[in-house]
């Protein structure tokens, strides 16, 4: 069934631009690709031509290499016209990383309230050693003792390492707003799950959608629980958001996503995105016939074991799936002697 459905997703531009280069994917809309220092090695940025300047949808990450690629794009593809506004879909550093740098040059930041507050808070919260709360969180998720020992000895990841400092003040967008950019009026539709209050933009004048990480074509974004909100239910948020988008999606929609290739076939893709997690939850519930902590549940969720490079994201996503089953009454949970939550079928 999945193979049949996947044939309905189309990629009008099969070759992405080189880092810092651009491809015009619609009238007044440039697709720019910037590098990332991770397995997912790129992020998509879209430049909307406002005549006397540009609106950028997302900014890339605030690393030396990411900034250099953006500077090349500014002087070449964007022809030296100023970026007057950056509209950020969500707070993750590969999307908001250079927003503060652009604001220092006079650009306005438009984003949702939660995206701004999360990015500003995390950018100011520099930790040289893991906090007690973070260590308790990873223990609760069932991280192995080797992983916990390593985390205690290492400097944790800090947003401040990869984002330009965000100045005080921003322009709030929220669900139902209409934003004018690139000669179009865009309806703001907000989703959740991958990031709280993630903005997507749906053109009211043609079939374009700026999807960020909420609407990706061939990969699923991370749905993780984190120490900032350890009782969150991102899987539930994600499923609700996907289902809310279903009545709005049309085959003709051309989605410009935060990663991978622009695509058509959004109704099929939404079906796939829902089925992916519904199936994972069913496999996980069956697996929990034998009680287990989230850190022991990679195989039923991802259908494979995860290596060291993938462990961190896998752990928070496994925790999220276990927590969703518990919150929806499908499993029970109890504290183990080492602080881990252990989940089991009812």
Give the C-alpha distances (Å, rounded to integers) separating 253 from 181, 187, 207.
18, 14, 5
Quote the CA–CA distance of 156 and 128 in Å, as a whole number. 7
User: 253-282: string of b/e by CB count within 10 Å (b at 16+)?
Assistant: bbbbbbbebbbbbbbbbbbbbeeebeebbe
Quote the CA–CA distance of 28 and 288 in Å, as a whole number. 51
Encode the chain (346 residues) as per-residue pLDDT tens digits: 344 444 589 999 999 999 999 999 999 999 999 999 999 999 999 999 999 999 999 999 999 999 999 999 999 999 999 999 999 999 999 999 999 999 999 999 999 999 999 999 999 999 999 999 999 999 999 999 999 999 999 999 999 999 999 999 999 999 999 999 999 999 999 999 999 999 999 999 999 999 999 999 999 999 999 999 999 999 999 999 999 999 999 999 999 999 999 999 999 999 999 999 999 999 999 999 999 999 999 999 999 988 888 999 999 999 999 999 999 999 999 999 999 999 999 9
Q: What is the pLDDT of residue 7?
A: 54
Dmax over CA atoms of the chain, in Å, equals: 63
Please report the domains of the chain, with CATH numbers, ordered by start residue: 2-125+155-276 (3.60.15.10)
> How many Cα atoms occupy the beta-carbon half-sphere of 191 within 13 Å?
27
Cβ pair 270, 189 in contact under 8 A: no
Give the C-alpha distances (Å, rounded to integers) separating 284 from 5, 51, 131, 287.
24, 52, 30, 5
Quote the CA–CA distance of 297 and 343 in Å, as a whole number. 10
Quote the CA–CA distance of 124 and 10 in Å, as a whole number. 41
Q: What sign results for the dihedral spanned by CA atoms 162, 19, 56, 111?
A: negative
Q: What is the pLDDT of residue 157?
A: 94
Quote the CA–CA distance of 217 and 264 in Å, as a whole number. 9
């Amino acid at each position: 069934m999945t193979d049949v459905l996947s044939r309905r997703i189309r990629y009008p531009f099969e070759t992405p631009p080189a880092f810092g280069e651009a491809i015009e994917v619609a009238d007044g809309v440039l697709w720019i690709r910037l590098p990332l220092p991770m397995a997912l090695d790129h992020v998509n940025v879209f430049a909307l031509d406002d005549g006397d300047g540009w609106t950028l949808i997302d900014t890339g990450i605030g690393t030396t290499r990411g900034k250099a690629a953006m500077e090349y794009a500014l002087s070449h593809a964007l022809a030296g016209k100023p970026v007057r506004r950056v509209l950020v879909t969500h707070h993750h550093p590969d999307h908001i990383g250079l927003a503060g740098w652009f604001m220092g040059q006079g650009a306005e930041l438009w984003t949702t309230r939660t995206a701004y507050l999360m990015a500003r808070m995390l950018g100011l919260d520099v930790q040289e050693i893991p906090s007690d709360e973070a260590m308790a969180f990873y223990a609760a998720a069932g991280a192995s003792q080797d992983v916990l020992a390593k985390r205690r000895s290492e400097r944790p990841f800090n947003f401040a390492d990869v984002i330009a400092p965000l100045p005080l003040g921003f322009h709030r967008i929220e669900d139902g707003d209409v934003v004018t950019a690139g000669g179009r009026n865009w309806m703001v539709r907000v989703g959740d799950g991958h990031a709280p209050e993630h903005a997507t933009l749906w053109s009211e004048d043609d079939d374009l959608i700026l999807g960020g990480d909420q609407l990706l074509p061939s990969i699923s974004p991370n749905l993780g629980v984190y120490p900032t909100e350890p009782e969150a239910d991102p899987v539930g948020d994600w499923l609700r958001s996907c289902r809310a988008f279903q009545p709005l999606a049309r085959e003709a929609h051309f989605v410009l996503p935060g990663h991978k290739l622009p695509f058509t076939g959004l109704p099929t893709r939404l079906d796939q995105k829902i089925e992916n997690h519904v199936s994972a939850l069913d496999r996980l519930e069956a697996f929990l016939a034998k009680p287990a902590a989230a850190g022991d549940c990679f195989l039923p969720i991802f259908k494979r074991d995860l290596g060291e490079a993938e462990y961190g994201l896998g752990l928070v996503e496994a925790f999220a799936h276990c927590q969703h089953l518990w919150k929806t009454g499908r499993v029970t949970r109890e504290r183990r002697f080492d602080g881990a939550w252990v989940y089991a079928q009812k």
